[in-house]
Structure 1
């Protein structure tokens, strides 16, 4: 302490000194919290119960989950479908679920939209699902994080959905600031770990093309570092199918293909992540037949397209599997040779018509 500061300190009353010391301790909590050590051997000797799941093998209890995707990819439909499954104990994308209490922070959608969507899904929410459309900010002195912690303690929520992260930030927030976002996301992770509730954050992605879909998460890298389970919904414009990429700290996950239900009312499980690739290949084959006409052989289509006959046959095989193309075995005029000619099916014509 400098001589000037020391002189000022001596002029303070004992009450004023105590008040200043209390303020300093509040701003610097580490000064009041000693280092807590424990025996590593004792920790390893303990028996912890198995990890509990709200959605078997996908949504663990007591962990922070992030669902990312571009705008209008179908993220809000997916989380609403998850909430409905937890509410009723129904399967979610082919996974068994445990019934539980849910808090849904629908910060992007209004009351009218969320009045209609459950009706489209033919789901009537039970009294175990609560919803809120506004919350205090998670930064700039807002009480949003404290309010969630209090709500979990008071209501015993098993799942809290925050849709979306950006809607919890003040206008002055910088989501690219690692220090800033780490404080928020780590607080949410601690909240999940301490309470046993799963906390799911919905977040947007950037428009940049990246090899790893999780690298497209918008904002600071601290966001990705904080969550325990990550899910990324990736869908090409105009397609009903999407890939749900997944990653987790404590258990293995597989990427899957899901398809938007007719009318857009949620998603259904299709297969592993390669399924969407196979379906796209089938569409390409259907496009080739439509553009060049019915009744061509693989060799003829290869000559027309510049592809190899082997590649054409592989594409047609995929298209046939998905009911977009059919193969008709015919004998060439004046020859004993039989060949396969490819024709669009009614479904293939309908698909191609939708793409126009």
Structure 2
């Protein structure tokens, strides 16, 4: 008779136990935007370069290296479940990123032993590949990570690794995937899920219900001006809960024989800075920069470019800052809204009377 599988019992803790618990400090897996136990969604249209970037991040995590200004705090073991790429293509991409130093500062010995690739095309066609919507497969993946002592997992991509997902536009269809991601969080595993863009190329495909599970949402969109190389895109963070800094501003990335080239995406930065300025919530450039997670020189350059285009002009920028300061002073004055208006002086009337 087959023994029945017994699940671990649910646990609770009192307020006293919670307050007495000593938690280890949370570390950055990718500084400054992804920490241990968090999950990230990276989305892009076909051929933009999402697998190139994700593979670069995986190699940095495994080897304790960096991709541009994004750095792994230390080497960690990574499991990559790839649902569609040819194994030979995978090999060529890893070599290319190493040869061009697209991923820099890696410890090769750590990198060689810290990544475990599980490509679908490498399997026997009679084998059952992972389906992250399937509960048994979720347990298989977690068991494999525990066996390999993997701290991070990359799913590339959602469509090819979730055969049981019937309708991407239905919120209920994503419950099984959300369950998988929650299991990763409970096990303190960091997860990166790669997904396709919608038809308009402005957001991830499918129901927005999935977004609630992710701490980070990173979109890769085609640049307005095409760039030569293996990959080219503009990075836009729709969501992040990490420390954040100027490196999270929209940037134009391109990959060539010289590795990754990353430049400030002027149009995106200009739009964000001007939109924030026009809210009248910030009284100077320093406040504006802090609120947007940009450096002050970046904000200054954006306002200069905007002024050169005439929207808004330099004098208009200063006028908006002055207006913001006036509004803030009024908010701090408890009698600002109740004070009686000053007596109006009519033209042609002697003020002495």
TM-based fold match above 0.5: yes
**1:159-199 C-alpha deviation (Å, 9 max, x unpaired):** 211000111222662222222212222322332x2222211
Partner of 2:254: 260
Query: Is the 1:175–1:220 contact (alpha carbons within 8 Å) kept by the matching residues of 2?
Result: yes
The question of 1:91 aligning with 2:83 is answered no
Quote the Cα distance in structure 1 between the aligned partners of 2:161 and 2:249. Answer: 29
Shift of 1:75: 0.4
Q: 1:157 aligns with which of 147, 150, 161?
A: 150
Partner of 2:116: 130
Quote the Cα distance in structure 2 between the aligned partners of 1:182 and 1:255. Answer: 31
Query: Is the 1:63–1:189 contact (alpha carbons within 8 Å) kept by the matching residues of 2?
Result: no
Gaps of 5+ in 2: 100-107, 121-128, 228-232, 271-303, 310-353
Partner of 2:328: none
Larger relative contact order (CA 8 Å, sep ≥ 6): 2
Name the SS of the counterpart of 1:121 in structure 2: helix
Partner of 1:342: none
Q: TM-score, normalised by structure 1?
A: 0.60
Query: Is the 2:40–2:192 contact (alpha carbons within 8 Å) kept by the matching residues of 1?
Result: yes
Partner of 1:100: 76
Q: TM-score, normalised by structure 2?
A: 0.61
Q: Describe the shift of the 1:182–1:142 C-alpha distance in structure 2 as closer, same or farther (beyond 3 A).
A: closer
**1:298-318 C-alpha deviation (Å, 9 max, x unpaired):** xxxxxxxxxxxx999936xxx
Comparing 234-243 with 96-105, which one deviates more in the overlay?
234-243
Quote the Cα distance in structure 2 between the aligned partners of 1:197 and 1:133. Answer: 20
Q: Describe the shift of the 1:261–1:177 C-alpha distance in structure 2 as closer, same or farther (beyond 3 A).
A: same
Q: Describe the shift of the 1:39–1:172 C-alpha distance in structure 2 as closer, same or farther (beyond 3 A).
A: closer
Partner of 2:351: none
Comparing 234-243 with 107-116, which one deviates more in the overlay?
234-243
Gaps of 5+ in 1: 1-21, 279-309, 316-356
Q: 1:113 aligns with which of 77, 82, 89?
A: 89
Q: 2:139 aligns with which of 120, 140, 146?
A: 146
Partner of 2:57: 82
Query: Is the 1:77–1:266 contact (alpha carbons within 8 Å) kept by the matching residues of 2?
Result: no
Partner of 2:221: 234
Q: 2:162 aligns with which of 156, 163, 169?
A: 169
The question of 1:195 aligning with 2:181 is answered no
Quote the Cα distance in structure 2 between the aligned partners of 1:159 and 1:64. Answer: 9
Q: Describe the shift of the 1:43–1:113 C-alpha distance in structure 2 as closer, same or farther (beyond 3 A).
A: same
Quote the Cα distance in structure 2 between the aligned partners of 1:246 and 1:266. Answer: 26
Quote the Cα distance in structure 1 between the aligned partners of 2:306 and 2:190. Answer: 48
Name the SS of the counterpart of 2:70 in structure 1: coil
Quote the Cα distance in structure 1 between the aligned partners of 2:37 and 2:165. Answer: 30
Shift of 1:236: 2.9
Q: Describe the shift of the 1:219–1:313 C-alpha distance in structure 2 as closer, same or farther (beyond 3 A).
A: closer
Quote the Cα distance in structure 2 between the aligned partners of 1:63 and 1:259. Answer: 24
Query: Is the 1:57–1:95 contact (alpha carbons within 8 Å) kept by the matching residues of 2?
Result: yes
Name the SS of the counterpart of 1:244 in structure 2: strand
Query: Is the 1:189–1:227 contact (alpha carbons within 8 Å) kept by the matching residues of 2?
Result: no
Partner of 1:50: 25
Quote the Cα distance in structure 2 between the aligned partners of 1:199 and 1:164. Answer: 12
Name the SS of the counterpart of 1:108 in structure 2: coil
Larger fraction in helix = 1
